[in-house]
Chain A
Amino acid sequence: MPESDERSNGAAALWPDQPPEFPKLPLPDRLLIPLGSETGGAKTSPGTTVHRGQVLLKYPSESSHFPVAPADGTLGEVRLIRLTSGHPASAVELIVDHLAPQHETAGFEDSETRESGLVRWIERLRRAGVWASRQASPDLIGQLNHAVSRPIDTVVCTALDSDVSLRLNGAIAARFGDRVAEGAALLARITGARRRVLAVEAEAKSPWAAPWTVAARAASLEIVELSNDYPQSDPTLMLYSLTGRRLRPGRLPTTQGVLIVDAATAWAVGQAAHATPMITCLVAIHDHLRRRSYFLEVPLGTSLDYVFQHFSLQDEALIFRGGDLLRDQRLRSDAVIAGGELTIHVTGAERVVIPEPCIRCAWCVEACPTLLNPAGVLDASQRRDAHLAQRSGIAACIECGICSHVCPSQLPLLEAVREVRQW
C-alpha cells in the first residue's frame, strides 16, 4: 500500500518527491450505500440483486443524488449510518458478490449524454451518483440546483489541502489532472461561468505542479497560486481570497455567484462526463502514531472499519477524525466513506484536557481567520448570552478550530461555538 513517510520534518517530507498513487482497496463483503435525503421509489427491497453502476432509487429527492451500486451484489436492510463528515444518513446494505465479474467499465443509466443544458447535466450527474458535501466542497447538487436560478460567474476548483501531512486534493490534481480539469471546466460550461479557477498551493513542488498546470491550460482554467495557510481551503476564505466576496459560513457559495468544488469532486464530475459513475472515492488516511499517510481508492460505501483492518489500525483506544484535524470531527470506526470527508486522521489515546482559566492573551483573536472573538463566544456560552455571542461575531465562525489550537489555557473554544449554535 503506498504511503508517505514523514519521519523527517521538512519540506521533503511535506512534499514527497512524487505525488502518491491511489491503489484500489479490495471490495469488502458488505457496503453501505447512502441513499440521499429520501428513500422512496424502492429498488431497495432486501434480497434484490443489483449490478455495478445500477441506480438503486427511482425517485430520489431533487436535492439528492441517485445512489449507485458500486459492485454486483444483493441488497440488504436500510440502516441509519454516519458519514465521515459526521452527518447521519440512511443507507442500504449491499452484500457484495465476489464471484460476479466486476466490470471495469460501468454501465450507468445515461440516456442523455448529448444534452448540455444545466438542468439536464444536473440530472446526469445525479444519475451518475455524483455528490459531495464536505467542508472544502459544499453540497454539489445543492450548488448546481441553486445555479439554475442564480447566475454563476466563477467556478473554483481547489487543490489546496488543509493538512500538510495529507495532501489529498493536491495528489488528486497531480495524478488525475486531466479529469479534474475536465470536471471543473464542465461545471463552468454548464453554469455559464466566465471565470474558471484552479486554486493550487504556491509552494507545490514541480512533480506535483507540472501535471495540473498542463491539464489546467488544456481546459482553459486559470491557475491561481495561494499560500496554503490553514484554513485557506475553507469556502469562506477561498471566496474572499479569490473574489473579495464575503460568504457567510453554512451558506452555499452560489449565493455569492461562485461554485466551489475540491479536486476530488471535480474528479468525480470529470469521471461522470466519461460515463463513469461515482462508485469509488479517493481517500487519504494519516496515522499520527506511525506518522504515515495512506492514499487509496475505496469503493463507495466502505466502512472505516474495513479500511483500518487493512492497515492494522484497530485498537479501541484509537481516535478517528474526519476532515481537517483541527475541526475535531470525531468519527466512530463504523463511519461510511462516500461524499463526506475524504481525509481521516488516526491518533492514539489522548490525555484528558483540564482547561485553565482564560488569561486574556487574545491569541484566539489574533489567530482567527474570520476576525471574531472566540473568547467572547466562550464567555457567552457560559453565561448563556446569545447577544454577547452575536457581538463576538459568532456568525462568521467557520469552526476551523485554530482558536482552540492556539489557546494556552486549552479552553474549549470550538465546542463553545458549536454549543451556542445549537441554541
Chain B
Amino acid sequence: MTDVAIPRPRPIPSPLHSGIRIGTFLALHILATLFPLVAGLLIFGWRAAGATAVIIASAMTAMAILRMVGWRGRQVRMWHCLWLAIIVSLMLPAQLFSLVPIGGAIVWPILPAAGVTLALLSWLLGGLGTQRVPPSVVTVLLMFVLFHELLTPRFVLRVDRIFAGDLLNADPAAPASPPRYPWINRSMASGFDAIRTDPPADDLLAYTSAQQRPERASLSVQGLIRDQMPALENLIIGGQSASIGNSSALAIIAGGLFLLYQGLIDFRIPLLGTLSAMAGLLVLPVPVYITEAGAQWHWLAFRAHYLGWPTAMTFVNYEIFASPLLLTVFYLATAPGLRPIMRRGRAVFAIALGLLSAVFQLYASVSMGPYIALLIVVLLTPTLDRIFKPRPLV
C-alpha cells in the first residue's frame, strides 16, 4: 500500500476583502473607455484603430522601459498606462494615422510622440493615486500647442462606409461646409469613403470670440446655428468631425453611465460639471449680433427680446456637444488622483470645472477649453481636501 500525501488546500484570497483590486478597478475604467472608442472606430474607421494602436504601443513600450528607472518606475502600472493611452487616443483625431502628408506636413510622428510623452509624464507624476496633474491632458495640450493646425479634425466617414472606409478618401473639391442633414440620414455621392467637414468647434469659437466677420450685414446667434452649425444629431448620435472619442455624445454618456453603475465614479462630477458649464454658457456674455461695426454682447440667460430660450438652449447644446466637456467630466475629472476625496469638495470641484470650462470655451478654445479648465481646477484639489473635512455621524 502506498501512502498518498493529502495535498493541503492552497491559500485562498482573504474572505475579508471584496475581491475588487486595483487591476479590476483599472480594467473597469478601460472597459468604460471602449464605449466612445468603439463609436470612434465606427465613425472614423481603421485609421482610428491605427492611431489608437500606435499611441498605446508607443506609450506601453516607453513605460516598460521607464518602469526600470528609479523608484518612480516601480510606482507606475502597465494597466494604468494602458488606460491613459486609450484616453489620449480618444482626445486626438484619427486622421493622424497617415503616411501621406496632410496640409503639407507629415503627421504620423505625432502619435508615437504623444505615447512617449504620456509615458514620460506618467513616470514623472507618479502612480495612480499620486498624479495630481492629469498626464493625458498635459500630453494633448502639449501636442495642441506644438501642432495646432494638424490636430484639427476635418473628416468623417460616410454612413455606408463606417469602420471599413478610409477617412482620408474624401472629395478634395467638395466644400467643407457643415452638412444640412443629419449624418445618419444623408445620401452620399459615390466614389469617396469620407466627407470633408470643418469641426463645429472652430465656427463656434470664431463667433463667440467675435473674430468672425459677417458675410451679409450682420450675423446673429440664430444665423450661426442655422447656417454654420451641423445638425445637432451629428454631435449627439455621431457624425461630426471630432477627436476619436468625441464623435458621439451618446457613446460618451453610455460609458459614463457604465462607470456610475459600477460605482467607480461620483455622479456629482459629471452632473454638476455639465450643469454649471451650461449655466456659465448662459450667463457669460456672447455676441448676439456681429456687424461690420463690431459685436453686440449680451448674456443669453437674461436675453433680449429677439433672443428666445430655444435659441439660447440650442446654442448651449452646441457648445456642450461640440467640445470635449462630456469626455472631461466623465473620464478625466473623475480620475482618482485628480478629484477631491470628500463629496462636498467634489461638488465645488465640479462646479468650478464647469464654469471655467464655459469661460475657456467661449473665449479661448472650444476643443481644448475643458482640458485647460481641468488643468486649472485640479490645482484646487489639495485645498478642497483641506477645507472639506469629514462630518462623522457621531
Contact = CB atoms under 8 A, between A and B. Distances in A.
A236 B393 contact: yes
A348 B9 contact: yes
B143 to A, nearest CB: 27
B22 A408 contact: yes
Nearest to A245: B394
Given A348-B12, A369-B393, A370-B393, A410 B130 contact: no
B317 interface: no
B391 A371 contact: yes
16 contacts: A236-B393, A237-B393, A246-B394, A349-B8, A351-B13, A356-B21, A358-B129, A359-B129, A365-B342, A365-B390, A370-B392, A371-B391, A376-B390, A396-B394, A405-B16, A410-B21
What 9 A-B pairs have minimum CB-CB distances, sorted nearest first?
Answer: A396-B392, A393-B392, A359-B129, A246-B394, A370-B393, A359-B128, A373-B390, A360-B129, A351-B11
B14 interface: yes
A350 interface: yes
Given A350-B11, A350-B12, A376-B390, 11 more contacts: A328-B16, A359-B337, A366-B266, A372-B390, A393-B390, A393-B391, A395-B392, A405-B16, A405-B18, A407-B17, A410-B21
A408 B25 contact: yes
Contacts of B337: 359-360
Interface bin, chain A: 35 or more
Contact of B15 (A246, A288, A361): A288
Interface in A384-410: 391-393, 395-396, 401, 404-410
B79 to A, nearest CB: 12
Contact of A360 (B12, B15, B21, B341): B341
Interface in A194-237: 236-237
B61 interface: no
Interface string B334-353: 00110001100000000000
A347 interface: yes
Interface string B369-394: 00000000000000000000111111
B127 interface: yes
B75 interface: yes
B20 interface: yes
Contacts of B130: 357
B394 A350 contact: no
Interface residues on B, range: 20 to 34
Given A350-B14, A357-B127, A408 B394 contact: no
B211 interface: no
A370 B393 CA distance: 5
A359 B127 contact: yes
A362 B336 contact: yes
A373 B390 CA distance: 6
A292 interface: no
B24 interface: yes
A247 interface: yes
Contact of A246 (B14, B25, B341, B393): B393
A372 B129 contact: no
B21 A408 contact: yes
Nearest to A289: B9
B15 A325 contact: yes
Nearest to A326: B16
A375 interface: yes
User: What DSSP secondary structure best describes chain A's contact surface?
Assistant: loop
Interface string A315-357: 0010000000110100000000000000001011111110011
B17 A405 contact: yes
Interface of A: 236-237, 240, 246-249, 288-289, 317, 325-326, 328, 345, 347-353, 356-363, 365-366, 369-373, 375-376, 391-393, 395-396, 401, 404-410
B270 to A, nearest CB: 16
B17 A410 contact: yes
A420 B24 CA distance: 30
* Best-buried of A348, A391, A401 by chain B (most CB within 10 Å): A348
Interface string B64-85: 0000000000010000000000
- Which interface residue of B17, B127, B337, B342 has the most chain A CB atoms within 10 A? B17
A361 B336 contact: yes
Nearest to B8: A317
A218 B389 CA distance: 48
Nearest to A248: B394
Contacts of A248: 394
B369 to A, nearest CB: 26
A392 B25 contact: no
A113 to B, nearest CB: 40
Contacts of B75: 357
Nearest to B77: A356
B393 A347 contact: no
Nearest to B394: A246
Contacts of A365: 341-342, 390
A347 B75 CA distance: 33
B6 to A, nearest CB: 11
Contact of A371 (B8, B20, B25, B393): B393
Contacts of A240: 393-394
Contacts of B394: 236, 240, 246-249, 370, 395-396
A249 to B, nearest CB: 7
A351 B10 CA distance: 9
Interface string B20-42: 11101100000000000000000
A408 B75 CA distance: 16
A375 B9 CA distance: 34
Contacts of A237: 393
Contact of B341 (A356, A362, A395): A362
Contacts of B393: 236-237, 240, 246, 369-371, 396
Given A317-B8, A405-B18, A357 B129 contact: yes
Contacts of A396: 392-394
A395 to B, nearest CB: 7
Interface string B115-136: 0000000000001111000000
B342 to A, nearest CB: 7
B33 to A, nearest CB: 17
Contacts of A392: 389-390
Contacts of A409: 21-22, 129
A328 B13 CA distance: 14
